[in-house]
Structure 1
């Protein structure tokens, strides 16, 4: 191979890698993060400008098909670089490796004052210089944390579904549990408190042992029993309980929607008179960009100056990459939302209790894309329907089996999503006697009476995710 061909090949791989990075970053971005990305590029790229609504140009056409000045050296669209296999091929070819891509993907995920919990965690992961498989697994697990920073699904099930080995999962969990804010990466509240105590150097303290070994007794204020089990005095237990009470039960609260209310829906779902659903992109927040024609003229005028020519070509290439990435982002979100509406049609007609279990793999297979593309497309994106705002991520998850009818409308043997079960639990809790609230065991029986057979420990997990206190702390009168 000649030196010229080798140099051209290296240049093409670097350009393709840059386009891929932009595509991944834009697809992953929430509406506010996308605005920040565009502002950054507009500030540094004089050839790019925002369009007026009456002066739009096609995002699909090359700038000038008669010249190669605008070519990025590859005919592929950025989706072809989104899969893990393609990233591996780039690494083998001597281009950007997957670890470098990930670091660039999320380097600017957050915006001061409106940062998401997931973005903050990803930033920390990418600073750790982890082995590639551990980094990818850690980033994957972040997608399964709820707004408190707790796992919404069993990590072992997540790993199995995504082909992550036990060893890699263990290392990735250790990474997550070591991040800030203290207590994230936990399976439940108890686990989070133990993480916080360990981080505070109290991993062998009475408070830690109380949370680890006497959780049910603590919830019922049975301090004497705790003292007996741990061979401590009641005063020592009370003092340790005060230490536990100072822990944060909701590590992700600072990033919650209540403290960060600036959320724009990406998708609208409206039901027509004939009962069909329209799935529409809002697009109000999406910047409309164009390349400034005057800079094309400057390229012709200063074409003899290699330095100026290379600079302008780089500006045009970066601008085109961003324009195409935004167009592809919107199309991907729309296609994913359409599949979600079709697969979760019962929810859009009847509400939360009719959500069904759904894996990202099913959507990815239907669209013919890698599961990581679906994961990025739903991250931080919201849908607005007659039931209010819903995060796209919330339509995915495992579920439980309904043994019979619940609420009179679910057939025998139907699978129910966790959200659906929690909706039924909420109805039961709203009708419980205030003087004798339902214990988790009683809730389990009430659910079974409605045809939902579920383990008591799962009921406890769901109750904690709903931020409902134990029965002993709900009692009134």
Structure 2
């Protein structure tokens, strides 16, 4: 083997992304809410930035201001007048006084524990058990472990657990799904050996909708097995559902409005949530004078450059989103006019080619972006859909339209003889849609529709 070490000079073209380019791309794919938070962070870190909010951006407008004191006096119901909402002094009554905190599951259980006719020691054990519940409302610990942790008798813990399992919502404090379902049946005063045997042994068959197999295993009729499975499906596998979990609310801020004015659709960019950024004049004067020799001028120049790039990137983001929406509006006018049935096939590549940008730029521009229209708030990404060619007319058919037809077929089918994927495929082909059985199965699953065997009713 001969090892040869040589120095070679080669020339190649390469795109090196600067930090500013990376930041510009990052800002393009931010949602309106994320951009708002990012600007607020930049303002805290960059002293040269000034923000001006226009009058129309203010949440409270004097013209529409509500006199909450008079509003409360107007309410003559006992449940309002009994509460001391109104201050006796001249301070403004905050509208937030009317907003109640969302109740968590633990708060709800705590209220019930307070009302128990039990000694304080038992109540404390109940509170400890509630503290061990997971996000579903299941008990995420064993009696043995809990007994060691709090130095209590297992009997006391078993007793307290029985109390917790009797609280609402029923199913709370269970160790697994089977126990969860049985607790709910117990609290409904339903005691049936066959039903309990189904829960203990054949939940897997129930999940597969194998009603005939369940009937055979339990030695009951198919109709009776169907009745039991229907009852079990009415129970709640996650007792915590519907309660506040502590997760933060994600706000949707539309980046633009699509308005119809004089029979023409117009794009109005939503600037109301973002401040108008400027350079503070004090720092401008430092640059103009340029007298200080302690590095202040260089520091201010650096901060002004950062501020100018931020403002430029925000405008560039707005311009790119506008161009994308302009092209979407050209292609999807029928959708905005008549609804989702008229959504035409449209890809990122087609829009990118038309507005002369890269496909990835369009992808970033629509990521987590929403538009407000006369038919509601729409995620821009949902307007992009692939096409299936039509056998008859030769025109492309939107995937959304095909999914709607699949949903319609399933809703109208005979539940005793549900339509197979092949049958749905044949029906779509008869309507002129060139589609395979495998594609039908894929779209059905995306719609959350079970297979024909699992939809069957007896």
| Smaller-chain TM-score bracket | 0.5 to 0.7
CA RMSD of aligned residues (A): 3.3
User: Is the Cα–Cα contact under 8 Å of residues 53 and 275 in structure 2 kept in the other structure?
Assistant: no
Give the secondary-structure state (helix, strand or coil) at the position aligned to 2:18. Answer: helix
**Partners of 2:29 and 2:365 within 8 A in 1:** yes
**Cα offset for 1:300?**
4.0
Distance in structure 2 (CA, Å) of the matches to 1:259 and 1:418: 34
Structure 1: gaps of 5 or more residues: 1-12, 57-217, 225-257, 405-411
Q: Is the 8 A contact 1:336 1:363 kept in 2?
A: yes
The counterpart of 2:312, out of the listed 321, 324, 344, is 324
Change (3 A) 1:273 1:438: farther
Counterpart check, 1:453 vs 2:454: no
For 2:56 and 2:300, locate their aligned partners in 1 and report how far apart those are by CA, in whole Å.
23
- CA deviation map 1:387-443 (0-9, x unaligned): 323222222232111224xxxxxxx22212222211222222222223332221222
The equivalent of 1:279 in structure 2 is 267
In structure 1, distance between residues paired with 2:48 and 2:248: 37
Cα separation, 1, equivalents of 2:258 and 2:441: 33
CA contact (8 A) 2:287 2:300 kept: yes
Q: 1:441 to 1:220 in 2, by over 3 A?
A: farther
Out of 354, 357, 364, the residue aligned to residue 345 of structure 2 is 357
Q: In 2, Cα distance between the equivalents of 1:287 and 1:465?
A: 40
Judged with a 3 Å threshold, the aligned counterparts in structure 2 of structure 1 residues 449 and 219 are, in CA distance, closer, same or farther, namely farther
* Matching residue of 1:336: 324
Q: Secondary structure at the match of 1:403?
A: coil
- For the Cα contact (< 8 Å) 1:353–1:421, is it kept in 2? no
Give TM-score scaled by structure 2 length. 0.52
What is the CA–CA distance in structure 2 between the aligned matches of 1:429 and 1:51, rounded to whole Å?
Answer: 54
- Paired residues for 1:314-463 under 5 Å: 314-404=302-392, 412-463=393-444
Query: What residue number does 1:267 align with?
Result: 256
- The reply to whether residue 22 of structure 1 matches residue 23 of structure 2 is yes
Which residue, 277, 295, 298 being the options, matches 1:289? 277
Inter-CA distance 222–310: structure 2 relative to 1 (3 Å threshold): farther
Q: Please say if residues 438 and 471 of structure 1, whose CA atoms lie closer than 8 Å, have aligned partners that are also in contact.
A: yes
Mapping for residues 159-308 of structure 1, pairs under 5 Å: 221=210, 261-274=250-263, 276-301=264-289, 303-305=291-293, 307-308=295-296
Q: CA deviation at 1:22?
A: 2.8
Compare 39-48 and 418-427 and name the one that shifted more: 418-427
Residue 312, structure 1, aligned to residue 300, structure 2? yes
CA contact (8 A) 1:219 1:470 kept: no
Instruction: Compute the displacement of 1:377 (Å).
Output: 0.8
Structure whose alpha-carbon radius of gyration is higher: 2
| Mapped contact 1:268–1:385 kept (Cα < 8 A) | yes
How far has the Cα of 1:446 moved from its partner?
2.5
For 1:189, the equivalent position in structure 2 comes to: none
Residue 446 of structure 2 is aligned to residue 465 of structure 1 = yes
Distance in 2 (alpha carbons) for counterparts of 1:259 and 1:39? 19
TM-score norm. by structure 1 comes to 0.50
Give distance in 2, aligned partners of 1:428 and 1:282. Answer: 40
2-structure distance, mates of 1:261, 1:17: 31
Against the structure 1 CA distance between its residues 270 and 430, is the aligned structure 2 distance closer, same or farther, given a 3 Å change threshold? farther
Q: Is the 8 A contact 2:49 2:277 kept in 1?
A: yes
Paired with 1:445 and 1:403, the residues of 2 have a C-alpha distance of: 13
Offset, 1:471: 2.1
Cα distance, 1:259 vs. partner?
A: 8.3
1:35-74 mapped onto 2 (5 Å cutoff): 35-53=36-54
* 1:223-247: CA deviation from partner (whole Å, max 9, x where unpaired): 99xxxxxxxxxxxxxxxxxxxxxxx
Question: What secondary structure does 1:356 align onto?
Answer: coil
| Displacement after TM superposition at 1:378 (Å) | 0.9
For residue 361 of structure 1, report the CA deviation from its aligned partner. 2.2
- Name structure 2 gaps, 5 residues minimum: 1-14, 58-206, 214-246
